[in-house]
Amino acid sequence: MPDDLAERVITTLATVKHIPREQIKLQSSLADLGFDSLDTISMLFELETTFNVSIPDESARSIRYVHEIVDGIRQLQAATPPAAAPSPE
């Protein structure tokens, strides 16, 4: 079952791709969900904003599946001390 962090990742992906969140599973690949290169960079941007992390380019390039994104965000959050929340856009 997706936990809270996974749910927020799925919501972010659904928002970026303009698709129903029910369509997105942890096992889904970005390719299956129809993410092209622009969708992917937009997703990375939104993930960085949502979770207040910085996703390195090398990690970004290797992401294929939704569960990899969830794991990656979890690791980044664990490695990074909580920063001040970003100001609203």
Partner 1 sequence: MTSQLRVAITGIGTISALGNNAQESWESLRNGRSAIGPMDDPDLAGLRFHNAGVARNYDPTAHFTPTAIDHLDRFAQFAVIATREAVLDAGIVWTDELRQRTAVVTGSGVGGQSTQDVGFVSVYKRGRDRVHPLTIPRTMANAATSQITMEFGVTGPAFTLSTACSSANHAIGMALQLLRSGAADMVLSGGCEAPLSFGLLKAWEAMRVVAPDTCRPFCKDRRGIILGEGAGMLVLEPLEKARARGARIYAELAGAGMSADASHITQPTVVGPVRAIRAALADASMSVEEVSYINAHGTGTSGNDPAETAAIREVFGPLADRIPISSTKSMHGHALGAAGAIEAVATLLAMRESLLPPTANFTEADPLCDLDYIPNVARPAKVKAALSNSFAFGGLNAVIAFRAISD
Nearest residue to 30 (alpha-carbon basis) of 6, 48, 13, 15 = 13
Q: Is 30 helix (H, G, I), strand (E, B) or coil?
A: coil
- The question of whether 71 is a catalytic residue gets the answer no
Q: How far apart are CA 25 and CA 35, in angstroms?
A: 14
Of the residues 32, 36, 57, 71, which is catalytic? 36
Q: Which of 3, 21, 45, 80 binds partner 1 (CB under 8 A)?
A: 45
Question: Can residue 87 be called a binding residue for partner 1 (CB under 8 A)?
Answer: yes
Point out the residues that are catalytic: 36
Chain contacts with partner 1 (rule: CB under 8 A): 17-18, 38, 41-42, 44-45, 48, 86-87, 89
